[in-house]
Amino acid sequence: MIGVLDLQGGVQEHLDHFCALNVPTRTVKLANELNGLVGLIIPGGESTCLMRLLHVFNLFEPILQAHQRGMKIWGTCAGAILLSSSGFKLIDIKIKRNAFGGQLDSFSSEKLIPAVSPTPIPLTFIRAPKIIHVGSDVKVLLRIENYIAAVETSGILATIFHPELTPSLAFHKYFATKCGVSVSDNDGKFAWNRQSWMRH
């Protein structure tokens, strides 16, 4: 089972994507809800607020301990910041926050990421950071011009964009596979509803 940290940010959208892949999921607000998870998503949101809430809900150390036991973690946007040297220090990357500007500078694009999908993947950047340095043990999945947009190690996946805000299932399928979870055969997209968050 894969968990989605449910403190702030795009929770329901991640759940919807995994549902389309028939991957069992649950939200995580309490430390005991980490039990039995093979993977955890730290969604986008506001990184400073998320860090504060992790300590308020006493989740910081339990997440570290679960990762040490083998739980994979995927951080999107603010989640990627929290996995870096600014937070859990679980992946050797340096990040520049709000690197593209403010909310009005958000944008979408499409890129080919061969390790993840044989076809181009839509990418949504919202007040996105930039990965400006990676350590020698970090694999770069996507480099765009003068910055890095997606990286991984054996136990960590970090993306500065929001795959959950597109109809593409490619990254969710990739993370599930990374966690050892089988997924249903799917053509890579589904009828994603932009108002899905309203059900949460």
Domains of the chain: 2-199 (3.40.50.880)
162: annotated active-site residue = yes
77: annotated active-site residue = yes
Catalytic residue among 152, 164, 172, 179: 164
Q: Render 171-200 in DSSP notation, one character per residue.
A: HHHHHHHHTT-------SB----TTGGGG-
CA 1 – CA 125 distance, rounded (Å): 27
Catalytic residue among 13, 77, 172, 179: 77
Per-residue pLDDT, averaged over 108-131, amounts to 90
Catalytic residue among 152, 162, 172, 179: 162
How confident is the prediction for the chain on average, in pLDDT? 89
Would you say the C-alpha torsion 37, 49, 127, 20 has a positive or negative sign? positive
133: annotated active-site residue = no
7-49 tens-digit pLDDT: 988 899 999 999 999 999 999 999 999 999 999 999 988 889 9
Helix, strand and coil percent figures for the chain, each rounded to 5: 30, 25, 45
Q: Are 67 and 30 in contact (CB under 8 A)?
A: no
64-116 tens-digit pLDDT: 999 999 999 999 999 999 999 889 999 999 998 765 555 544 667 899 999 99
